[in-house]
Amino acid sequence: MPSTGSRFALAAVVAFAMVASGCTGGAATPAETAAQPATTTPAPITRAPTYSGPEPLTNAEFAWLAALPKFAIKAGDTFDQNEVLTPAKLRSVASLFRSCRRQLAPGLPSSRLLPVYELVVKACREFDKAAACFATAARLDIRVEGSPDDLAFRRALRCGFAGQRAGQAALGEAMKKGEKI
């Protein structure tokens, strides 16, 4: 059984703890209750989530990006496999390729599309080269194989097809980059 001294010490510790915590057993005065802070917890503040990603594309940006594959399809479907390359057909293709700059690169749509725009400008430069080569082939209009101008005609065709491939490749890169934006 604990001694009286240890019981007294325990009672003193409990009484001190009660006084320190404000539990005196008597009625609290209005001044004491006003001085004590309320113990209710405030309701948590709910904040709307913030979107920190890029802004959505504008209608103009979206329309410009949508024009890229449309032009790529037209530029890729210029010749049928067994088509006779007449001067009229070559001039038509040259005209289409020259329209790249007018249709796709008249000006930068927005600063965030600059990487795509730079690739489009590169593609249009290649299409311009192809257009010049096909226009040259159309002027030569070689119908006799092996004639002196036949070599120039074939060279112009090779140049035109090489420019077309390079333009399509750059335009393909631009479309891939545009999808990531």
The pLDDT tens digits of the residues spanning 4-21 come to: 444 444 444 444 445 445
The better pLDDT of the pair 101, 46 is held by 101
The better pLDDT of the pair 36, 68 is held by 68
91 with 138: CB under 8 angstroms?
Answer: yes
pLDDT of residue 172: 97
The yes-or-no verdict on residue 46 having pLDDT over 90 is no
The yes-or-no verdict on residue 78 having pLDDT over 80 is yes
Mean pLDDT of the chain: 81
Is this prediction's pTM over 0.75?
no
Where in the chain are the domains?
A: 59-179
**What whole-number distance in Å separates Cα of residue 84 and Cα of residue 175?**
31
Q: pLDDT per residue over 113-150, tens digit each?
A: 999 999 999 999 999 999 999 999 999 967 677 777 88
The yes-or-no verdict on residue 26 having pLDDT over 50 is yes
85 with 138: CB under 8 angstroms?
Answer: no
**What whole-number distance in Å separates Cα of residue 159 and Cα of residue 153?**
10
pLDDT (mean) for 151-176:
96
Q: Would you place residue 55 in the very low, low, confident or very high pLDDT band (cuts 50, 70, 90)?
A: confident
Which whole-number Å values give the CA distances from 178 to 18, 63, 122, 126, 171, in the listed order? 71, 12, 15, 19, 10
